[in-house]
Structures are given as structure tokens and as C-alpha cells.
Amino acid sequence: MPKTKDLQAIIGHCKEYGFIFPSSEIYDGLSAVYDYGQYGAQLKKNIRDYWWLSMTQLHENIVGIDAAIFMHPTTWKASGHVDNFSDPMIDNRDSKKRYRVDHLIENHVATLPEDEGNALLTRMDALLAEDDFVGLKNLIDEYHIKCSVSGTANWTDVRQFNLMFRTEFGAVAAEDGADNGVFLRPETAQGIFVNFLNVQKTGRMKIPFGIAQTGKAFRNEIVARQFIFRMREFEQMEMQFFLRPGTQKEWYEKWKAARLAWHLSLGIPAAQYRYHDHAKLAHYADAACDIEYNFPIGFKEVEGIHSRTDFDLRQHQEYSGKKMQYFDNDIDPQTGKPYGNYIPYVVETSIGLDRAFLMVISEAYEEEDLSTEEKKDERVVLKLPAFLAPLKLGIMPLTKKDGLPELARELMHDCMKQFMCFYEEKDSIGKRYRRMDAIGTPFCVTIDHQTKEDQTVTIRYRDSMTQERVPLAAVKDLVAKACAMPFS
Ligand code: ATP
């Protein structure tokens, strides 16, 4: 079992090296909102690009779109988010702290012996499935569950709390008293469903086909204390795969396997993942599972794969009055006639980009003890896959004189058209290497006096820290090749 990593150390590292900052930090930050810094933004973009390439370019029958964050408010009535996108919450009267009921109980379970904890979880799941709020409150009372801040069990009743952010559209309140409320989308999927007909017709798409998109989503999460694992503003990468009713089981299994294969193509060992099949299904789903990764906070969902039947398209058909149908002229072997008109079924794959980022950086983060008998030494290194690393090549003249910076800059200008480079001439070479290790740069080259004589440079490899002499002219291709995206 790989050893557990310390989330606090990773958070500290992300801040110190320009990956992630608390949002508006000079005003003390905003809870569960984060900004990506210079290296974080690049790493995030590389993960997004790899997903996009794997999900669109590598599939003849999947196309990408970019729908707006604002959508017609009826979208969210049709999708069920206005009525159902809520979590049962409870407030502690003394600390005024609000908890998600399931999280409060789950935290208590962690303090109980395994049997007792499992029994409590089973009872909680049954009550949640029934929306039995009185029963949930009684359960909290029965186990004397206390607030971690006030230490008391002085609880309010359990209430529903909608997770969507609402705002007003237009400059002034509507004069006719109409409701101008719009929501910030809580998921990107609905932008795909409402464009189903547009894309199918204009792209002449034939079922089965997929529509992918990446973009921001917003949820007013209540318990949001796990760094970028649970944010109020986050990014999703979703793909809805439209298929013929009756084939959903087969496609669900295919996508389940394909998405895990994608995760493994990041170089993360299989032991770090597990599937969590949902026993309790949402009313519209006929199968659902999560891909869980072993985060520093334990195995948790990074991606969901859901077989959503025709629920979403059917709802949009009903609320919009527009036919969300597809005419399938393939021949049904049973009847010898075309399959004809139907509302397609959907299998969706939905991954959080920020969670994927946390997964990648947690996996890559290593504190290495390099001490020898003579001297204590250690380094922090991000062993990122080269194709995801924010910078690919560090370029370092050994000294600031003798024409070495000029040679180094020449290499830099040649390479920067193909990949991200970083030029540095300050401090000792050893210190410069360590800084590149800390942000995960897989290659560094040093230009020295010998370079002027024989046009060779020293290339240094991040993970093994070994060095070798290679021709200056070979550097660009060597790095470009090693940093190319794998094809999963
Ligand atoms: P959870 O149970 O952790 O709240 P969920 O089941 O509500 O997640 P989905 O609605 O299936 O999540 O969303 C798909 C993906 O979006 C999740 O697998 C996750 O990676 C990501 N995601 C969801 N909520 C958040 C959030 N608040 N912050 C960051 N990523 C999120």
C-alpha cells in the first residue's frame, strides 16, 4: 500500500510554489474558493487538454462544445435541480455552525468500533433514502453526536438547503413583477442536453455519439473544508454519450472501463483506485458508479459514471415542448425495419478538474531523504508525468558570463515555440535544480564552457537526478518526445 501523504504539506507546497492560492487572500480569503497560480493554471490546463484530446480527438463520434454558464431558469426545473438539488442540513444552536447531516454522522462513525459504525451508516442510508428528516434528527440525538466547535448537542431540526447559487438577470428588478432569477449552473451536463438537437443536426451525428464539454460549475457547498476537493466554484469535464435504448448496460460497462484506463494512463498505479458502485440509485439512473482515488484524505470520488436513461432529454422535451427525438434508420434485426424514432438514452462520464488536479499533485508529491553519511539532505519533488508538467525544460547557463547566457537564450527561443521553458541564471546549479524539482520540471539543461567547444550540454533528469552529456541540437526533440501525450 503506498504511504499516505500529508494534505497540509501539499497545500503548503501548492501555495509556496505558485500552484494554488486562497481566493482574494489579501482580504483573508473566501471559503472554499481558490485561485490557480502560474504553475497551477498551466498544470490544470494540461490535465484539461489531455482529457479533451482523449475524449474528443480520439473518438470519431464525440464532439466538444462550450455552453454558457447562465441557462434559461426552466432548465433547472426540468433537470430537477430546483426541487431536488439539496442536502439535509442541521445547525448547532450554540456554535451557529451548519453541518450536512450525512457528514456529521459519518464523522461520528469514524469514532465508533467498526460493527457499530456500519450499523449506524446503514440506518442513516435508509433514512436519507426516505427523506426522513425527523428520523435523522432522532438518530443524531440517540448517538449524542456533538458539534466539534461548541461541544454541545443543541441542534435545530434537519432542513433541506438548495445548493444552487441564484442571482438576478438584467439591471433592474422586472417591472411586471416577473421572476428574473437565474442560477449559476451547478453542473455542465445540462448545457449538453439542451444542445442535443443542435449538435446532432448540425454535426449530422449518428447514434451512438457523445458531446463533451469542460467548464465552471457552482455549488453552495456547506461543508467545504477540504482544499480543492470540495469547492464552491469548480470545473467539470463531462461527456454525455447518447445511445439506443436497450444498449445502455453495454455502454455503461465500456465507459466505466475506458475511464479507469484513462486514469491509469496518467501513470497512477491501479492500487490507488477503486470503483464504488452505487447501491442506492437516483430515480432517473439505472446504474451508477464512482471512480475513487486514494486521496490524502482517503478513498473518495474523483469521477462518476452514470447511466441516466432518457430522463434528462424526456424532461427537457416535456418542459420545452420541443421533440428531443432521434430517427434511427439502422435496421432492427428483430423486426427487419428501422429502429425509428426514440428519445436516446444517456451514459455520462463526469470528472471534476480540480479533484483530478488534487489527485495528480498528491500522487506526484514526494519528500525524499537524500542524506549521505557526510551530510543531511532532502528534497521535495513533484514526480508529475512529463506531459502534464507545467514546465518541461529548465535552461541554465552555468555562469552569467563568457557568452553562456547568449547560448542558453538561443536554445530557449528555439524550444519555447514547442513547449514551456524556464530560463534561470541565479544561484548555484544545485539550488536551481531543486527549484525545478519542486514544480515538477522533468528536464533541465546546463550550458557550460564545454558547450562552446563541442556543442554539447548536460541534461539532468528530475526523478533519477542523473545527468548526461547530449548534443545541444538534440535537446528540443528529446524533450518534445518525452513530453508528448500518451494515447489511452
Ligand atoms: P460529492 O458526492 O463528492 O458531493 P457528487 O456526487 O455531488 O460529489 P457529481 O454531481 O457526480 O458529484 O459531480 C461530478 C464530479 O464533479 C465529481 O465526481 C467531482 O469530481 C466533481 N465535483 C462535484 N462537486 C464538487 C465540488 N464541490 N468541488 C470540486 N469538485 C466537485
Kindly state the average pLDDT of the residues 234-252.
97
Tell me the CA–centroid distance for residue 168 and ligand 1, in Å.
Answer: 25
Q: For the purposes of burial, counting CB atoms within 10 Å of the CB of 18, is it exposed (0-12), middle (13-18) or buried (19 or more)? A: middle
- The cell for 427 is 544561484
Mean pLDDT over 333-356 rounds to: 97
Q: Quote the pLDDT of residue 393.
A: 98
Check whether 487 has a pLDDT greater than 80: no
Find, among 51, 102, 138, the residue nearest to 356 by Cα. Answer: 51
Contact 72, 122 (CB under 8 A): no
Pocket test for ligand 1, best of 23, 184, 355, 359 (most atoms within 8 A of CB): 355
Residues whose CB falls within 8 Å of the CB of residue 51, separated by 6 or more in sequence, listed in order:
214, 237, 262, 351, 353, 356
pLDDT beyond 50 at 176 = yes
Q: What is the mean pLDDT of residues 67-78?
A: 96
> pLDDT of 192-211, one tens digit each?
999 999 999 999 999 999 99
Range with the lowest mean pLDDT among 57-61, 182-186, 369-373?
369-373
Residue 304 has pLDDT above 50, yes or no: yes
Cis, peptide link before residue 208, omega less than 30° from 0: yes
Average pLDDT, the chain: 94
pLDDT value at residue 1: 46
Question: What's the rounded mean pLDDT across residues 142-149?
Answer: 95
Question: Measured from the CB, is residue 259 less than 6 Å from ligand 1?
Answer: no
Q: How far is CA 121 from CA 99, 140, 287, 403, in A?
A: 17, 12, 22, 69
pLDDT at 5: 86
pLDDT score of 224: 65
**Substitution candidate for ligand 1 out of 273, 350, 353, 359 with most atoms within 8 A of CB:** 350
Q: What is the mean pLDDT of residues 19-33?
A: 95
Whether 354 is in the pocket of ligand 1, judged by its Cβ within 6 Å, is yes
Ligand 1 atom nearest to CA at 219: 27
pLDDT reading at 134 higher than 50: yes
**pLDDT score of 443 more than 60:** yes
Q: Model confidence at 98, in pLDDT bands (50, 70, 90)? A: confident
Quick: pLDDT tens for 256-295.
999 999 999 999 999 999 999 987 787 788 999 999 999 9
Distance 7 CA to ligand 1 centre (A): 19
Q: Ligand 1: does its nearest atom lie under 6 Å from the Cβ of 230? A: yes
Res 357 pLDDT > 90? yes
Q: How confident is the model at residue 183 (pLDDT cuts 50, 70, 90)?
A: very high
d(CA 282, CA 447): 60
| Encoded amino acid at 53, one letter | L
Could you tell me the CA-to-CA distances from 123 to 138, 139, 153, 457 in Å, in that order?
Answer: 11, 8, 20, 66
Q: Is 362 exposed, middle or buried (0-12, 13-18, 19+ CB in 10 A)?
A: buried
360 vs 3, more confident:
360
Residue nearest atom 1 of ligand 1, based on CA coordinates: 301
Q: What distance in angstroms lies between residue 259's CA and the mean position of ligand 1's atoms?
A: 16
pLDDT given at position 175 = 59
Helices (H), 321-466: 353-364, 404-415, 429-439, 449-454
Kindly give the number of the ligand 1 atom that is closest to the alpha carbon of 224: 27
- Mean pLDDT calculated for residue range 404-414: 96
Q: pTM for the complete prediction?
A: 0.89
Contacts of 82 (CB under 8 A, 6+ apart): 76, 162, 164
With a 6 Å cutoff on the Cβ, whether 291 touches ligand 1 is: no
